[in-house]
Amino acid sequence: MLKRTLLYDAHVKLGAKMVEFGGFEMPVQYTSILEEHRWVRSKAGLFDVSHMGEIEVTGPRALEFVSYITANDPARLDVFQVQYSAFLTEKGTFVDDILVYRLPDRFLLVVNASNTDKDFEWVKSHQFKDGVEVKNLSSDYGELALQGPVAEKVLQRITDIDLSKMGYYWAGFGKVLGKDALISRTGYTGEDGFEIYLPPSEVEEVFWKLLDMEEVKPAGLGARDTLRLEMGYCLYGNDIDETTNALEAGLKWIVGFHKPDFIGKKALLEIKEKGITRKRVGFETERRGAVPRHGQKILDADGNEIGHVTSGTFSPSLRKGIGMGYVKKEFARRGTEINIEIRNRAEKAVIVRMPFYKEGTVKK
Amino acid sequence: MLIPEGLKYTKEHEWIQVDGEVGIVGITDYAQNELSDIVFVELPEVGQKVAKGERVATLEAVKTVADVYSPVTGEVIEVNERLADEPDLINRDPYGDGWIVKIKIKNLDELNDLLSAEEYEKLVEEEEA
């Protein structure tokens, strides 16, 4: 049985096409992926991301515990700062990629919808005997993402938090339409924008209020995927999973090797020592009609298999095929010419630096 | 969803409009809506021979790719060149400016196997259910 977010009726009312994603029935598009994509890049798009999971960690040893179960270093966070991180297996591969919020008295770990139950069980299985409490608060939050160059201007109309003072990957408590909310300057699109956590009862009112504004249009998972892919952001289940380690995924920057201990550290140190054998890369296809897709083979110039595509799409901004995948390390250098096997044809492609789209308004 | 009378349809969601021994072929409104956002159309060469049920064109949408199968056996005598620059014509006007190829039909009897508008509507309703 598929789950529905609180906004299911609203999506249907807006004429959304609904699809299964992460165990939820979610809107893939309201009008057109291309239109929604362009609207986010030029104005502001509103996404229902209530399917995301939230795990709360409290107690006197909360920091120590979060440090042990995540790859990145939460001790580097000030209160109200946010960090991209991951849960890793003992092998250094991904249980999930997550956001870590350091709040005044607790940590909030925001996880992928499809992994919420798995993650919660996994976190509990590593829980210290004392000093830490862990709760799955996924049903206690609704979440909206407002993304686009005018997101700050628009959201400021209905919140008392001074958004102009909120930096990238920072958060704050405040009122949205008079109701308590947690807002962070985060997102998955490459544009400036915010993620807004609300009590379930308030989500729909805020959703409609934002859509009342002429600069705001709803955007679905289809656009969310093309937007994140243009930025080279990973999607769990495609680009990273329990078979890919953090180093070959190119996510060494979220691995706190200086920490005394964390799950996966031993394996990653060994991999670091020996060197990786394959690497996540981004590529663009040469022919406009050659659109790479998840699962296709990557070949060298002579037709030998050297890897596979993990995500691919037509890029609405670049107007060509773009993709990510893993290739043998010796083919990972920028400028390397490769081929993607698309419907039994070898299509020329070249390895490029990510992000593919370089004009994003995201505040760094 | 538009299903005009007077056209013949396939189970794979193509339509054909027959005039004498020439058939104009495209995909249905239902199909374009399912695909959404067509960004590239790979067209056949004029003069190419196609068998009934054989791939005659390929449509790349943002999220997926789909083949277009010829409803009849025959020869491609014209392709819609406008689709090269405006692939979304198929989304905007699937039964008009978004036509894909014209085929000189070899055997008009093959048309008897195709679906009427009413039969096609029933098929779509079943797929939707």
Q: Where are the domains of chain A?
A: 3-50+141-230, 53-125
* Chain B CB contacts of A288 below 8 Å: 40
The CA distance from A74 to A44, in Å, is 31
Cβ B60–A314 below 8 Å, yes or no?
yes
Q: Which of A296, A291, A281, A303 is nearest to A232 (CA)?
A: A281
Report pLDDT for B10. 98
pLDDT tens digit sequence for A294-334: 999 999 989 999 999 999 999 999 999 999 999 999 999 99
Cβ B39–A17 below 8 Å, yes or no?
no
Of B42, B64, B91, the CB nearest to A289: B42
Q: How confident is the model at residue B109 (pLDDT cuts 50, 70, 90)?
A: very high
Choose the mutation target among B32, B33, B37 for the interface with A, i.e. most A CBs under 10 Å.
B37
Residue A206 has pLDDT above 80, yes or no: yes
Report pLDDT for A48. 98
Write down all domains in chain B, each with its CATH number in brackets: 8-110 (2.40.50.100)
User: Can A3-50+141-230 and A53-125 be said to share one CATH topology?
Assistant: no
- β-bridge mates for residue B115, sequence order: B9
Q: Are B74 and B23 in contact (CB under 8 A)?
A: yes
Residue A221 has pLDDT above 90, yes or no: yes
Q: Name every residue whose Cβ is closer than 8 Å to that of residue B82 and which is 6 or more positions away in sequence.
A: B89, B97
For chain B, say whether A351 makes contact (Cβ under 8 Å): no
Report pLDDT for A88. 98
Q: Nearest-CA distance from A315 to chain B in Å? A: 8
The CA distance from A116 to B18, in Å, is 55
Q: Which CATH class is domain A3-50+141-230?
A: alpha beta
For chain A, say whether B108 makes contact (Cβ under 8 Å): no
Q: How many CB atoms lie within 10 A of CB A218?
A: 24
| Section A250-270 average pLDDT | 98
pLDDT tens digit sequence for A83-139: 999 999 999 999 999 999 999 999 999 999 999 999 999 999 999 999 999 999 999
Q: Are A312 and A292 in contact (CB under 8 A)?
A: yes
Q: Given its phi and psi angles, is residue A152 left (phi above 0), alpha (psi -120 to 50 degrees) or beta? A: alpha
Q: What is the mean pLDDT of chain A?
A: 97
Q: Given its phi and psi angles, is residue A225 left (phi above 0), alpha (psi -120 to 50 degrees) or beta? A: alpha
Q: What is the mean pLDDT of chain B?
A: 96
pLDDT tens digit sequence for B9-66: 999 999 999 999 999 999 999 999 999 999 999 999 999 999 999 999 999 999 899 9
For chain B, say whether A29 makes contact (Cβ under 8 Å): yes
Query: What is the ipTM score, two decimals?
Result: 0.85
Report pLDDT for B11. 96
Report DSSP letters for A221-273, one per residue.
HHHHHHHHHHTT---BTTTBSTTSBTTTTT-GGG--TTSS--TTHHHHHHHHH
Residue A1 has pLDDT above 80, yes or no: no
Cβ A313–B39 below 8 Å, yes or no?
no
* Chain B CB contacts of A29 below 8 Å: 36
For chain A, say whether B1 makes contact (Cβ under 8 Å): no
Tokens coding B19: 């005039």
CATH architecture of A53-125: 2-Layer Sandwich (3.30)
Which amino acid is residue A310, in one-letter code? T
pLDDT tens digit sequence for B54-74: 999 999 999 899 999 999 999
Report pLDDT for B128. 80
The CA distance from A288 to A319, in Å, is 7
Tokens coding A2: 């598929």
